[in-house]
Amino acid sequence: MMNVLLGAVFLPFGVALIIALLGNRHERVRNWLMLALSVFCFVAVLSQSRPILDGQITPYVLADLDFFQLTFAVDALGLLMASIITFLWVF
């Protein structure tokens, strides 16, 4: 489940790069990529709703060094904001 949520966080950067490289030449492909990415992100956020609504705070450790740890944590407010943002992104 962690890979899906991390994909929802980092995949938009890769798709934005692809869209920038496509430019205005392939408008239909660009629009379909954005729609597919938006739906994927929305479904990824909704897939986290059950554990979060059960009261869990789900941490995701991206980097764990001796002096530094980069961690994302998903709680109820973050899930609400992510759901609203990705829903609006789709429509």
Q: For residue range 10-24, list pLDDT tens digits in order.
A: 889 999 999 899 888
Mean pLDDT, rounded, for 48-71 = 86
Take residue 58 and report the two structure tokens written for it: 């789900």
Whether 90 contacts 38, CB under 8 Å = yes
CA distance 49 to 69: 25
Predicted TM-score (pTM) of this structure = 0.80
Is the pLDDT confidence value at 7 over 90?
Answer: no
Angle formed at CA 37 by CA 34 and CA 39, multiple of 5 degrees: 110
Count Cβ neighbours within 10 Å for each residue of 36-68 and write b for 16 or more, e otherwise: ebbebbbebbeebeeebeeeeebeeeeeeeeee
Residue 1 is predicted with a pLDDT of 55
74, 5 contact by CB (below 8 A): yes
